[in-house]
C-alpha cells in the first residue's frame, strides 16, 4: 500500500512539474503576443538615407520645401532657396522615418472631417530616391490636448500622435534654415583677416598652430585667435524679426559706425563679415547670405581688438609641459639643470624638488606686461630652455632699462616689457635652488 501511494504521489508531482515547465515556457510568449497586439502601430517606417525631398504645407498657406543637393546636404528650395540647418533637418527626419502613433483611432474612417483631416492643419510630403511620394496628414488636436489626429494619404486608418511628434514636424523655413552668418568649416579655416580703420591683422594656421602674418610676422596667442574664430563661427542671424524689423535692422547697419570686417578663408574660399555698431547694439552683413542682421555684443566686442590683444605675451612656449633642460646666467651666477624622469639634476647632484618647482613656475610665468619698440640694452640675464623632448630650444635675453626690464627672444625683433617683480621672483627662486637631502642611514 505504501509503495502504491508513493507511486501515485510521484505521478502527481511529475504532472505538476510538467505543468509548471509548460507555464514558464509559454506564458512569456503569450504575454509578448498580448503586448505586441496592444502596442500602437507604426505610421511610417523609412530609412533616412532614402528620403530625397520633403515638402511641408500648413493650413495657413505657409510652405517650405527641402531637397538634397549634389553633395548630399539638405537645402531649402522653396519658397526661397537658402541653406538648411543640417541638425534641424536631421531631427525632423528622425521623427518622420520612424513615426509611431499613440493609438489607432479608427480602422476604416468614413468621416475624416470629424478629425480635421479633410482640411489638414499640416501636410508633410516625403519623396524617396525612387521618386515615390507619401503624404502625412495632421488634423485637429485630440480632445485631451495631448496629441493630434493623423493619417497617411491613401490609408483608411486614422491615428493619434503625440503633441511633441506634431511639433517635431510643424516647421517653417525660418526653423529649418541655416542661421550661420559664415558657413565656412571652423576646423578647416586657414586664414583670418581682421580689418578696421586703424589696423589690418592677418592670422595664418599651420601644423604648429596660429601665427600673425600681418602687419608683420609675430607669435600669436592661440587662445585669443581661437576665441576670435569661435565668435565668427557662432555668429548667427535672429530669425524672429518681422519684415518691419528687417527694415529697421538694415537702417541701423547703414547708419552704424564700422567696427571691423572679418575675412575668413577655408578650402572652399573666402567669406566676409562686416560688423557695425549702432546705439542699440551691433549689426552685421555677410557675403555668404542675403540681408542684414543684429548680432551679439560678444561678437562685436570680440572683433574690436588691437594687434597686441592677439600677440603671445609668454616668453616661453612651454604651456603646461615640463622642460627637459634649463640654463641660466645671471651676471656671475650660472645654473645648469637637467630633468630625467621626475627628477632634476645639476652637476651630478639630484636637486630638491620643493626648491626646483618654484623656479620652473617662474620661468613658465614670464610674460610681457606690454610690448615695446626700444629700450633693449646689454643683457644682464640670459635663459635657455629646452623642451618637447629636446625638439624645442628657446633663448631669452633680459636687459635693464632704468627701472624697467626689457626681454627679447633670440632671433626675434619683438621686445617684451616685464614686471620687475617677475624678474626678482625668478632670481630669488634660482638662488634658493638646493640639492636633495642625502638619504638617512639606518
Q: Residue 89's closest CA among 184, 178, 185?
A: 178
Maximum distance among all Cα pairs of the chain, rounded to whole angstroms: 123
Q: Kindly tell me the sign of the dihedral angle through the C-alpha atoms of 247, 250, 252, 254.
A: negative
For residues 264 and 232, is the Cβ–Cβ distance under 8 A? yes
Q: Residue 169's closest CA among 71, 44, 79?
A: 44
Omega of the bond prior to 227 within 30 degrees of 0, cis? Answer: no
Cα distance between residue 437 and residue 352, in whole Å:
7
Looking up cell 502601430, which residue turns up? 41
- Between the alpha carbon of residue 350 and those of residues 47, 89, 237, 357, the distances in Å are 66, 63, 61, 14
Other C-beta atoms closer than 10 Å to the C-beta of 411 total 6
**If residue 216 lies in a helix (H) or strand (E), which one and from where to where?**
none
Q: Residue 329's closest CA among 255, 249, 385?
A: 385
Which triple of cell numbers denotes residue 371?
610690448
Output the pTM of the full model: 0.77
Which triple of cell numbers denotes residue 369?
606686461
Residue 420 phi, psi dihedral angles, 5° rounding: -55, -30
User: Coil, strand or helix: which one is 364?
Assistant: helix
Please give the chain's pLDDT, 442 residues, in tens. Answer: 444 554 554 554 455 455 444 444 444 444 433 434 457 889 999 999 999 999 999 999 999 999 999 889 999 999 999 999 999 999 999 999 999 999 999 999 999 999 999 999 999 999 999 999 999 999 999 998 899 999 999 999 999 999 999 999 999 999 999 999 999 988 899 999 999 988 999 999 998 899 999 999 999 999 999 999 999 999 998 777 766 788 899 999 999 999 999 999 999 999 999 999 999 899 999 999 989 999 999 999 999 999 999 999 999 998 888 999 999 999 999 999 999 999 999 999 999 999 999 999 999 999 999 998 899 999 999 999 999 999 999 999 999 988 889 999 999 999 999 999 999 999 999 999 999 988 765 5
In our burial notation (b when 16+ CB lie closer than 10 A, e otherwise), range 115-154 reads: bbbeebbbbbebbeeeeeebbbbbbebbeeeebbbbbbee
For residues 394 and 385, is the Cβ–Cβ distance under 8 A? yes
Contacts of 14 (CB under 8 A, 6+ apart): none
Which triple of cell numbers denotes residue 91?
531631427
Looking up cell 620643493, which residue turns up? 354
DSSP conformation class of 411 = T
Percent of the chain as helix, strand, coil, to the nearest 5: 30, 40, 30
DSSP conformation class of 39 = S
Which triple of cell numbers denotes residue 387?
623642451
Which triple of cell numbers denotes residue 231?
565668435
User: Coil, strand or helix: which one is 21?
Assistant: helix
Other C-beta atoms closer than 10 Å to the C-beta of 387 total 20
Query: Strand pairing of 368-372 and 415-418?
Result: antiparallel
Amino acid at each position: 500500500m505504501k509503495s502504491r501511494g508513493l507511486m501515485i504521489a510521484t505521478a502527481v508531482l511529475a504532472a505538476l512539474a510538467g505543468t509548471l515547465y509548460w507555464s514558464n515556457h509559454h506564458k512569456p510568449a503569450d504575454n509578448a503576443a498580448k503586448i505586441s497586439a496592444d502596442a500602437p502601430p507604426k505610421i511610417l517606417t523609412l530609412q533616412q538615407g532614402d528620403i530625397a525631398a520633403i515638402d511641408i504645407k500648413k493650413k495657413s498657406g505657409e510652405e517650405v520645401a527641402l531637397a538634397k543637393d549634389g553633395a548630399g546636404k539638405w537645402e531649402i528650395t522653396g519658397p526661397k532657396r537658402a541653406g538648411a540647418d543640417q541638425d534641424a533637418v536631421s531631427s525632423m527626419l528622425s521623427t518622420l522615418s520612424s513615426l509611431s502613433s499613440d493609438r489607432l483611432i479608427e480602422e476604416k474612417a468614413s468621416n475624416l472631417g470629424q478629425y480635421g483631416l479633410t482640411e489638414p492643419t499640416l501636410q508633410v510630403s516625403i519623396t524617396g530616391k525612387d521618386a515615390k511620394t507619401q503624404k502625412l496628414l495632421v488634423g485637429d488636436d485630440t480632445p485631451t490636448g495631448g496629441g493630434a489626429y493623423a493619417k497617411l494619404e491613401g490609408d483608411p486608418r486614422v491615428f493619434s500622435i503625440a503633441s511633441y511628434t506634431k511639433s517635431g514636424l510643424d516647421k517653417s523655413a525660418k526653423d529649418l534654415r541655416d542661421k550661420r552668418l559664415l558657413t565656412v568649416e571652423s576646423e578647416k579655416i586657414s586664414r583670418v583677416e581682421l580689418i578696421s580703420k586703424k589696423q589690418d591683422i592677418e592670422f595664418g594656421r599651420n601644423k604648429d598652430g596660429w601665427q600673425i602674418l600681418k602687419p608683420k610676422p609675430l607669435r600669436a596667442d592661440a587662445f585669443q585667435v581661437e576665441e576670435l574664430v569661435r565668435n565668427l563661427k557662432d555668429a548667427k542671424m535672429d530669425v524672429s524679426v518681422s519684415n518691419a524689423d528687417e527694415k529697421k535692422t538694415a537702417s541701423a547697419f547703414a547708419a552704424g559706425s564700422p567696427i571691423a570686417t572679418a575675412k575668413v578663408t577655408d578650402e572652399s574660399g573666402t567669406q566676409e563679415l562686416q560688423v557695425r555698431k549702432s546705439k542699440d547694439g551691433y549689426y552685421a552683413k555677410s557675403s555668404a547670405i542675403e540681408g542684414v542682421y543684429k548680432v551679439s555684443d560678444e561678437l562685436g566686442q570680440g572683433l574690436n581688438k588691437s594687434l597686441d590683444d592677439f600677440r603671445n605675451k609668454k616668453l616661453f612656449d612651454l604651456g603646461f609641459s615640463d622642460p627637459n633642460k634649463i640654463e641660466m646666467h645671471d651676471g656671475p651666477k650660472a645654473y645648469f639643470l637637467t630633468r630625467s624622469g621626475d627628477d632634476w639634476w645639476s652637476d651630478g647632484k639630484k636637486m630638491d624638488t620643493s626648491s626646483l618647482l618654484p623656479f620652473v613656475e617662474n620661468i613658465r610665468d614670464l610674460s610681457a606686461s606690454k610690448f615695446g619698440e626700444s629700450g633693449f640694452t646689454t643683457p644682464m640675464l640670459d635663459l635657455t630652455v629646452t623642451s618637447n623632448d629636446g625638439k624645442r630650444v628657446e633663448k631669452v635675453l633680459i636687459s635693464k632699462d632704468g627701472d624697467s626690464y626689457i626681454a627679447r627672444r633670440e632671433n626675434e625683433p619683438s621686445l617684451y616689457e616685464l614686471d620687475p617683480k617677475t624678474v626678482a621672483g625668478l632670481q630669488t627662486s634660482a638662488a634658493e635652488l638646493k640639492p636633495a637631502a642625502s638619504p638617512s642611514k639606518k
